[in-house]
Structure formats: structure tokens, C-alpha cells
Chain A
Amino acid sequence: AQSVTQLDSQVPVFEEAPVELRCNYSSSVSVYLFWYVQYPNQGLQLLLKYLSGSTLVKGINGFEAEFNKSQTSFHLRKPSVHISDTAEYFCAVSARSDDKIIFGKGTRLHILP
């Protein structure tokens, strides 16, 4: 079975500062990895995905994530955040043989003026 741990439930960051949201996963089989974002009162939107190939993945809105197999991590980064990045961010994993996505508990990103 797969599991996802998001180490921080909330992360406050000043506007224009860099941010890293941490994610670790556990799996005995090969996986796909995802980050989804949920803006207030909206659904889940795919930010980026790792399926195979380059371990550095670039997504929408200036976000990127790096797959580190040895550390079983998939941390999300952005070099300079904006107030519009205020949202909840979910790391997720899916075994390559499975239909389902397993989500982490989410990290709420607070942008401070």
C-alpha cells in the first residue's frame, strides 16, 4: 500500500519569498506522484505530475517539484510567492498498477503581506 506524509499542516510565507512544501511518500512499488492545489471554495487542480523521466518537474503558476527516490520525497517549491498562491496544497501518489490516488493531509499556504 502507498501512503503520503505532508510534514507541515500550515506554512506562512512573506510575499515574494521562496517556499518549499514538503512531501514524503511510502510505497513498495513504482509510483506516479502529483501535487494538487485547492483554492478557496474550488475543486482540486493539478499543479504538476511526475510520471517518469527527469526528476525535476515544472508545473503551472511557477511551481516545480523534485522527485528524490532515495529519500522518497517530492517537495514542491516556488522561488517567489504571490498573494494569489494562498491555497491548500495536496501531495498525492498512485501506484502504477492502481486506479486510485492516495492523498496527503494537505498543507495550507498563507501568504503574508
Chain B
Amino acid sequence: EPEVTQTPSHQVTQMGQEVILRCVPISNHLYFYWYRQILGQKVEFLVSFYNNEISEKSEIFDDQFSVERPDGSNFTLKIRSTKLEDSAMYFCASSSLKDQPQHFGDGTRLSIL
């Protein structure tokens, strides 16, 4: 069964540095998403992306964050000038259509030191 893959599985970064989290969505999917889960808290929506632009974003997704689909297969989340509170598990998801279920990757655990 096709899967969403995320790399790396664990990223450790110094506070203030930039980090890029990578995702390869399921190949025929058109909608892409990022979520995060701070330890002990709910999974929270960050952003959705369709047709090479952001279609919806949460208040968490401020100017520190950006997303990109640099080629036909990758979908990236960039976090500039990381803060301690950015430490979380980041999940990528994709869906074939807007109202179809989202399929999630295994996540990238981001640790900011």
C-alpha cells in the first residue's frame, strides 16, 4: 500500500538555526498537509497546500514557517530561526481529494536545544 514517507525520523537542531523537514506524499495525491504534536498535547493543524499554493493555515503557521513543493515528489516544511517551543513531532499528510481521508507519515521528531 502506498505510504507517506518523512525524513529524517529525528532532527536535533540548535535554537536559532533553520531546519527543513521533508515529506514524500503518496504519488497521485493532490492535497498536502503539515501537522505537529507537542509532547503530551493534541495533534494540531499547521497548513494545507494545493496546486502549488497554501490553501489554509492556522495561527501557529506564522512568518517563521514556510512550505514548498520543490519538485514533483517532495513537500517540505521550513522553520526559520527555531525556538525551544518548536520542539514537537511533525506529521506530513496527503489526500487524493479535499474531502478524502488524509494519510499520515510516521513523523519527524524535532528537538531544539
Contacts and interface: CB of A to CB of B under 8 A. Distances in A.
Q: Interface residues of A toward B: which range?
A: 20 to 34
Interface of A: 32, 34, 36, 42-46, 49, 51, 90, 96, 98-106
Interface residues of B, number: 26
Nearest to B37: A103
Interface string B81-113: 000000000010100001101111111000000
Contacts of A42: 106
Contacts of A90: 43
A39 to B, nearest CB: 10
3 nearest CB pairs, A to B: A99-B48, A100-B45, A43-B106
Nearest to B41: A105
Interface string B22-57: 000000000101010000011111001010000110
Contacts of B55: 99
8 contacts: A36-B104, A43-B4, A45-B104, A98-B56, A99-B31, A99-B48, A99-B50, A100-B33
